[in-house]
């Protein structure tokens, strides 16, 4: 089942429309489908903008209109339905994992087109593209940090990632989670909390999105809040 090629933006995700026939063949969303045969719907998410890695870092395309996801399971048994769902989820995970390379480039020292504000031996912190101080800030992008009450110029949105790659709280997406995984993730969360305090963010929120809302298969902690725009962000070359 083909889905649009996408990459990381603000990690707020939007559903895209896909129709699956009983044979498992994906068809265009405009293809006719009997509503009475739709037995369930699942979420297949894609980032709202397409990204690429160019000479100036990440680039983006205009956001796409969200649509619903409908799976036609008419005539399928329970095993066939489970197989179809696994195939769709596997495709989504493959795309999410592929986009992890964008964050890996940043942690490895390629900061072109980015605004890295902190880095130590364990974590790297850089601005999300919804932060007004990002080199390619796009005011049309929807910020998932719920900062609508904050004047745009005062909004802060920072991503904190571990320098050692891991896909989410668990080492891999959909994998088991051990106490070591929890400790490694907590280290990144605490780094985000410390960063919010150091930068004097007002009413900060530090959080990790659930797996079904990810667009990048690389653990990242969101740090959002209100900042004093007269105080510049630090810059890591």
Residue 197 lies in a domain: yes
Same domain, 25 and 86: yes
- Based on the domain organization, do 37 and 134 belong to the same domain? no
The 10s digit of each residue's pLDDT in 79-89 is 887 787 777 77
Q: Does some domain include residue 4?
A: no
Give the number of other Cβ atoms within 10 Å of residue 15's Cβ.
15
In three-state form (DSSP H/G/I as H, E/B as E, the rest C), the secondary structure along the chain is CCCCCCCCCCCCCEECCCEECCCCCEECCCCCCCHHHEEECCCCEECCCCEEEECCEEEECCCCCCCCCEEECCCCCHHHHHHHHHHHHHHHHHHHHHCHHHHHHHHCCCCCCCCEEEECCCEEEEECCCCCCCCCCCCCCCCCCCCCCCCHHHEEEEEEEECCCCCCCCCCCCCCCCHHHHHHHHHHHHHHHHHHHHCCCEEEEEECCCHHHCCCCCCCEEEEEECCCCCCCCCCC
For position 211, what pLDDT does the model report? 84
Of the residues 75, 101, 127, the one at which a domain ends: 101
Which whole number is the average pLDDT over 125-153? Answer: 86
Residue 173 in domain: yes
- Shared domain check, 128 and 83: no
Q: What is the pLDDT at residue 207?
A: 96
Question: Can you tell me the mean pLDDT for 133-138?
Answer: 90
CB 57 within 8 A of CB 46: no
170 and 63 in a single domain? The answer is no
Does 7 reside within a domain? no
Other C-beta atoms lying within 10 Å of the C-beta of residue 105: 16
The pLDDT value recorded for residue 99 is: 80
Per residue in 179-191, pLDDT (tens digit) is: 999 999 999 999 9
Q: Give the residue from 78, 101, 124 where a domain finishes.
A: 101
Domain contains 80: yes
- Which pLDDT belongs to residue 138? 81
Task: Name the domain boundary from 83, 101, 119.
Answer: 101
9, part of any domain: no
Residues 145 and 73 in one domain: no
Closest CA to 156 of 190, 128, 120: 128
Cβ count near 189 (within 10 Å): 17
Residues 6+ apart with CB under 8 A from 15: 43, 44, 45, 46, 66, 67, 68, 69
Q: Is the pTM of this model over 0.75?
A: no
pLDDT of residue 234: 95
Per residue in 14-57, pLDDT tens?
343 344 433 333 433 434 434 333 334 444 444 444 444 444 44
- Phi and psi at residue 141, in whole multiples of 5°? -75, 140
Region 118-136: what's the mean pLDDT?
95
Domain shared by 54 and 92, yes or no:
yes
Q: Are residues 97 and 158 in the same domain?
A: no
Say whether both 220 and 135 belong to one domain. Answer: yes
The mean per-residue pLDDT over the stretch 143-169 comes to 90
In a domain? residue 200: yes
Mean per-residue pLDDT over the chain, rounded: 75
Same domain, 86 and 117: no
Paired tokens of 128: 């999300």
Does the residue 236 lie in any domain?
A: no
Domain that holds residue 114: 109-226
Co-location of 83 and 139 in the same domain: no
- Which pLDDT score is estimated for 187? 98
Round the CA-based radius of gyration of the chain to a whole number and report it: 19
Per-residue burial over 160-188, b if 16 or more Cβ lie within 10 Å, else e, is: bbbeeebbbbbbebeeeeeeebeebbeeb
Q: Residue 229 CB: number of other CB atoms within 10 A?
A: 15
Number of domains in the chain: 2
User: What CATH number is attached to the domain comprising 160?
Assistant: 3.30.428.10
**The pLDDT of residue 145:** 63
Same domain for 116 and 220, yes or no, is yes
Q: Are residues 137 and 62 in the same domain?
A: no
148 pLDDT tier (thresholds 50, 70, 90): confident
With bands split at pLDDT 50, 70 and 90, how would you rate the model's confidence at 60? very low
Q: What percent of the chain has pLDDT over 90?
A: 45
Sort strands 19-20 and 70-72 into parallel, antiparallel or unpaired: parallel
């Amino acid at each position: 089942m083909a889905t649009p090629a996408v990459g990381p933006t603000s990690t707020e995700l939007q559903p895209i429309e896909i129709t699956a026939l009983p044979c498992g063949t994906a068809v265009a969303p405009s293809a006719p489908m009997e509503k009475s045969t739709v037995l369930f719907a699942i979420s297949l998410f894609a980032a709202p903008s397409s990204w690429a890695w160019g000479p100036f870092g990440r680039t983006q395309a205009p956001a796409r209109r969200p649509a619903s996801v409908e799976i036609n399971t008419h005539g399928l048994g329970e095993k066939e339905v489970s197989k179809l769902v696994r195939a769709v989820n596997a495709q989504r995970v493959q795309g999410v994992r592929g986009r992890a390379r964008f964050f890996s480039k940043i942690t490895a020292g390629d900061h072109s087109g980015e605004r890295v504000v902190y880095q130590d031996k364990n974590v790297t912190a850089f601005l999300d593209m919804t932060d007004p101080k990002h080199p390619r800030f796009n005011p049309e992008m929807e910020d998932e940090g719920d900062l609508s009450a904050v004047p745009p110029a005062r909004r802060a949105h920072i991503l904190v990632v571990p320098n050692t790659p891991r896909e989410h709280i668990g080492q891999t997406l959909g994998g088991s989670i051990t106490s070591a995984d929890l400790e490694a993730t907590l280290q990144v969360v605490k780094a985000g909390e410390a960063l919010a305090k150091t930068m004097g963010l007002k009413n900060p929120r530090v959080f990790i999105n659930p797996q079904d809302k990810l667009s990048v298969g690389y653990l990242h902690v969101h740090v959002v809040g209100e900042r004093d725009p007269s105080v510049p962000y630090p810059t890591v070359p």
